[in-house]
Amino acid sequence: MSEFTIVECPRDAMQGWAHFIPTEKKINYLNQLLKVGFDVLDFGSFVSPKAIPQLADTKEVVRRLDMSNSATKLLAIVANKRGAEDAVQYDEISYLGFPFSISETFQLRNTNKTIAASLAEVEEMQQLCVQRGKKLVLYISMGFGNPYGDEYTAEIAIQWFKRLTDLGIEIIAMADTVGVANPETIKYIYDNLIPAFPQIEIGAHFHSAAQTWEEKIQAAYDSGCMRFDSSLKGIGGCPMAEDELVGNIATENIIQWAKQKNIPLHLNEEAFAQAMFMAAEVFV
Category of 140 on φ-ψ map: left (φ > 0), alpha (ψ -120 to 50) or beta: beta
Helix (H) / strand (E) element for 201: namely strand 201-206
Domains of the chain: 5-282 (3.20.20.70)
pLDDT of the residue at 190: 98
Give me the tens of pLDDT residue by residue for the chain, a chain 284 residues long.
Answer: 469 999 999 999 999 898 999 999 999 999 999 999 999 999 999 999 998 999 999 999 999 999 998 999 999 999 999 999 999 999 999 999 999 999 999 999 888 899 999 999 999 999 999 999 999 999 999 999 998 999 999 999 999 999 999 999 999 999 998 889 999 999 999 999 999 999 999 999 999 888 899 999 999 999 999 999 999 999 875 544 454 455 789 999 999 999 999 999 999 999 999 999 999 999 98
What gap in Å lies between CA 12 and CA 233, rounded to an integer? 12
pTM of the model: 0.94
E strands present in 133-200: 135-141, 171-176
- For 89-120, b/e burial (b = at least 16 CB within 10 A) is ebeebbbbbbbbbbbbebbbebbebebeebbe
What gap in Å lies between CA 105 and CA 163, rounded to an integer? 20
